[in-house]
Structure 1
């Protein structure tokens, strides 16, 4: 387990037949610096709020039922 924690992966076998893999979990970062966020935002595609709303209206039913009204 120490080796897996350090990044090593293993193939699990039964009777010489591969049946699985033991791999380290990918850890996701929870914090992105303001500078890094700004750099990513500069290269992101544009966002059209009006187009998004129009697409939502086309797909969603405007008359949502109250789930508690039974």
Structure 2
């Protein structure tokens, strides 16, 4: 388990046949470096602000219900 925790992977066999893999879990990043974000942004498609707002208006509740009035 220490080896797996340190990034090593293992193939599990039974009678010489591969039946599984023991691999370390990926750790979720909490931070994306600015350079990586900038690189991804360069290839992203343009967003139409008008279409975005229209989509929001179509899906958001338009009524301002008072949650305490029920």
TM-score (norm. length: structure 2): 0.60
* Corresponding residue of 2:67: 67
SS at match of 1:25: coil
> Structure 2: which 5+ residue stretches go unaligned?
13-18
> Structure 1: which 5+ residue stretches go unaligned?
12-17
SS at match of 1:41: helix
Counterparts of 2:3 and 2:29 in 1: how far apart (Å)? 21
Matched-pair contact (CA < 8 Å) for 1:9–1:24: no
Counterparts of 1:6 and 1:54 in 2: how far apart (Å)? 49
Of the structure 1 ranges 27-36 and 40-49, higher mean CA displacement relative to structure 2 is found in 27-36
TM-score (norm. length: structure 1): 0.60
Tell me by how many angstroms 1:48 deviates: 1.4
Counterparts of 1:68 and 1:33 in 2: how far apart (Å)? 44
Count, aligned residues: 64
